[in-house]
């Protein structure tokens, strides 16, 4: 029947009994499948990881500016990594960095939740926030 019409016999579902087959143009069928995959990929939400670096001696206004930038990132659906950088002997006073991250966490409690708690990574103390959807 497929040859008579000039089309192909395509097996759609192989696992069923009996197998489901259709008479159609195979090239057009493959094109439509790829088109659906592209459309699905375009509509999927891709989250990026944004990083905001803080220093232990940050001033209040600078801290607030950075928090507003982070709120914007979280509002757009991005994950945010907060890093407190230590220079020289600052690393001996790690409690200052931990207090700074706690302060940031309290400032962003409505916009994001903590995925990964404060972790020391080299000379930086990091915290990862995920947006609340």
Q: How confident is the model at residue 124 (pLDDT cuts 50, 70, 90)?
A: very high
The CATH superfamily of 2-43 is Translation initiation factor 3 (IF-3), N-terminal domain (3.10.20.80)
Note the pLDDT tens digit of each residue in 75-113: 988 999 999 999 999 989 999 999 999 999 999 999 999
Query: Domain locations in the chain?
Result: 2-43, 49-131
pLDDT at res. 96 = 93
How would you class 56 by CB atoms within 10 Å of its CB: exposed for 0-12, middle for 13-18, buried for 19 or more? middle
Identify which of 111, 130, 127, 110 has the alpha carbon closest to the alpha carbon of residue 119.
127
Does 3.40.50.300 match the CATH number of domain 49-131?
Answer: no
Pairing of strands 79-85, 49-55: parallel
2-43 and 49-131: same fold? no
């Amino acid at each position: 029947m497929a040859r008579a019409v000039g089309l192909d016999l395509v097996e759609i579902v192989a696992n069923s009994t009996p197998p489901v087959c259709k008479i159609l143009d195979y090239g057009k069928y493959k094109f439509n499948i790829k088109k659906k995959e592209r459309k699905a990929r375009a509509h999927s939400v891709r989250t990026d990881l944004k990083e905001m670096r803080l220093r232990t001696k940050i001033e209040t206004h600078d801290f607030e500016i950075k928090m507003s930038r982070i709120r914007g990132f979280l509002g757009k659906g991005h994950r945010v990594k907060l890093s407190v950088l230590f220079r020289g002997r600052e690393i001996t006073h790690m409690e200052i960095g931990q207090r700074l991250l706690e302060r940031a966490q309290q400032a962003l409690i409505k916009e994001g939740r903590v995925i990964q708690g404060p972790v020391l990574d080299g000379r930086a103390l990091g915290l990862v926030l995920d947006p609340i959807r």
